[in-house]
Amino acid sequence: MDKIETQIGGIEKIDEAVRLLHEGEVVVIPTETVYGLAANALNAKAVKKIFLAKGRPQDNPLIVHIEDANKAKMVAVDIPESAYLLWEEFSPGPLTIVLKKHPLVPYVTTAGLETVGIRIPNNELALETIRRSNLPLAAPSANISGRVSPTEARFVYDDMNGKIPLILDGGPCKVGIESTVLDLTKETPTILRPGAITEDMLSACLGKVVNHKGKVVRAASPGMKYAHYKPMCACFAAKTSDEAKELYNHFTNSLVIARQDFLDTCDVDNKIHLGETPEECMRNYFRILRENENIYDVIIIESFENEPQYLALQNRIAKATEKPDKI
Ligand code: TXA
Ligand code: MG
């Protein structure tokens, strides 16, 4: 791939972003979850450039971003009433809904699937780019495949400099982890990836929702089988501060990240406060990993295994701490 100059800009660069998108180029957009590497979802050649820039496996489908529920008909067919109920309640927001794909959506976008994931992001720069371009935008997280998702433009730049022409900088992402992916093509709505919109919130809107907690989902959501959210250094999860300290002392140059109570009882030199609420912890998590993965050899993260309200974050922690022999 030829090296190109990567620009970073804000609202003043939207028109340029729109021009590039119409020319079939890839542009980074901020969203409330993580930054996205966007291209015209209906243009197979443009979408291929996303896979190339990320080094993403071809069998991992992309999420298509639209600006409001009325546009869903451009990319999906047989849309059930439940999808509109969900959009009414949670959009714009961190929810991706999997529906039957429209014939005009190329198979590169959906990685050969007959379904398509659709999301309305809660970020004005992103929404304005989609509105002005009048295009549905396919966008995976804007990191090199397998690496930690970027929650600030500087992290995108680290991974994408020289590969894409433009990054729209919308500041730090407010949610901080990727959207909940909900499959509505199954008999019972099924959560394929946990996120800030929880099972309880979805069931309150729809009735029964299935959450396989990442098990069966490996087959259902192709992306889940790949290594994800992996920092450059080794990572471990620790259930107690004693366990964290033991791991910390076992290695040289380690760091502990956790909530305050955990840190207070963990007698080590290098420690960083993750946050106190699920929202705060989700918002800070990827940033802290990105800021420290090249400084420390080992990062030890508090485990939230038995706290259901931290399910989405724990899913990311499990991925970061997975042993390398698993894919
Ligand atoms: O918050 C987000 O969702 C971010 C921002 C940029 O919108 N995007 C994101 O994209 O996380 P990505 O490509 O990193 O993750 C997409 C996930 C993958 O696990 C993929 O397998 C799943 O969504 N997915 C996409 N389309 C699907 C489909 N048709 N059926 C099942 N799973 C799908
Ligand atoms: Mg990703």
Instruction: Please give the distance, rounded to the nearest whole angstrom, from the Cα atom of residue 241 to the centre of ligand 1.
Output: 34
54 near 61, Cβ under 8 Å?
Answer: no
Please state, in angstroms and rounded to a whole number, the distance separating the CA atoms of residues 64 and 119: 6
* DSSP for 275-314, written as a single string: -SSHHHHHHHHHHHHHHHTTT-SEEEEE--TT-GGGHHHH
- Look at residues 239, 258, 60 and name the one whose alpha carbon lies nearest to residue 141: 60
For residue 211, what pLDDT is reported?
80
Please state, in angstroms and rounded to a whole number, the distance separating the CA atoms of residues 216 and 226: 14
Instruction: Please give the distance, rounded to the nearest whole angstrom, from the Cα atom of residue 243 to the centre of ligand 1.
Output: 34
Long-range contacts of 8-12 (CB under 8 A, 24+ apart): 8/153, 8/157, 8/166, 8/167, 8/169, 9/166, 9/167, 9/168, 9/169, 10/125, 10/168, 10/169, 10/170, 11/125, 11/128
For residue 324, what pLDDT is reported?
61
Instruction: Please give the distance, rounded to the nearest whole angstrom, from the Cα atom of residue 153 to the centre of ligand 2.
Output: 15
325 C-beta neighbours (distance < 10 Å), count:
5
List the chain pLDDT tens, one digit each, 327 residues: 667 899 999 999 999 999 999 999 999 999 999 999 999 999 999 999 999 999 988 889 999 999 999 999 999 999 999 999 999 999 999 999 999 999 999 999 999 999 999 999 999 999 999 999 999 999 999 999 999 999 999 999 999 999 999 999 999 999 999 999 999 999 899 999 999 999 999 999 998 888 865 443 444 565 656 666 789 999 999 999 999 999 999 999 999 999 999 999 999 999 999 999 999 999 999 999 999 999 999 999 999 999 999 999 999 999 999 876 544
Q: Is the CB of 34 under 6 A from ligand 1?
A: yes
Ligand showing the shortest atom-to-Cα distance for residue 50: 1
Q: Is the CB of 135 under 6 A from ligand 1?
A: no
CATH topology of domain 234-320: Rossmann fold (3.40.50)
Q: Is the CB of 146 under 6 A from ligand 1?
A: no
Please state, in angstroms and rounded to a whole number, the distance separating the CA atoms of residues 47 and 288: 30
Domain residue ranges of the chain, discontinuous segments joined by +: 7-211, 234-320
Please state, in angstroms and rounded to a whole number, the distance separating the CA atoms of residues 5 and 165: 6
52 C-beta neighbours (distance < 10 Å), count:
12
Angle of the 153-160 helix axis to the 278-292 helix axis, nearest 10: 40
CA distances for 193 relative to 78, 112, 114, 124, 210, angstroms: 23, 19, 19, 24, 11
CATH label, 7-211, candidates 3.20.20.210, 2.160.10.10, 3.90.870.10, 3.30.70.100: 3.90.870.10
Please state, in angstroms and rounded to a whole number, the distance separating the CA atoms of residues 76 and 87: 14
Out of 91, 116, 175, 221, mutate this one to test ligand 1's pocket (max ligand atoms within 8 Å of CB): namely: 221
Token pair belonging to 3: 């090296």
For residue 197, what pLDDT is reported?
97
194 near 181, Cβ under 8 Å?
Answer: no
Relative to the CA of 96, which ligand 1 atom is closest? 3
Q: Is the CB of 139 under 6 A from ligand 1?
A: yes
pTM, two decimals, is: 0.94
For residue 261, what pLDDT is reported?
98
Nearest CA to ligand 1 atom 6: 36
Please name the amino acid found at residue 33.
T
Q: Is the CB of 116 under 6 A from ligand 1?
A: yes
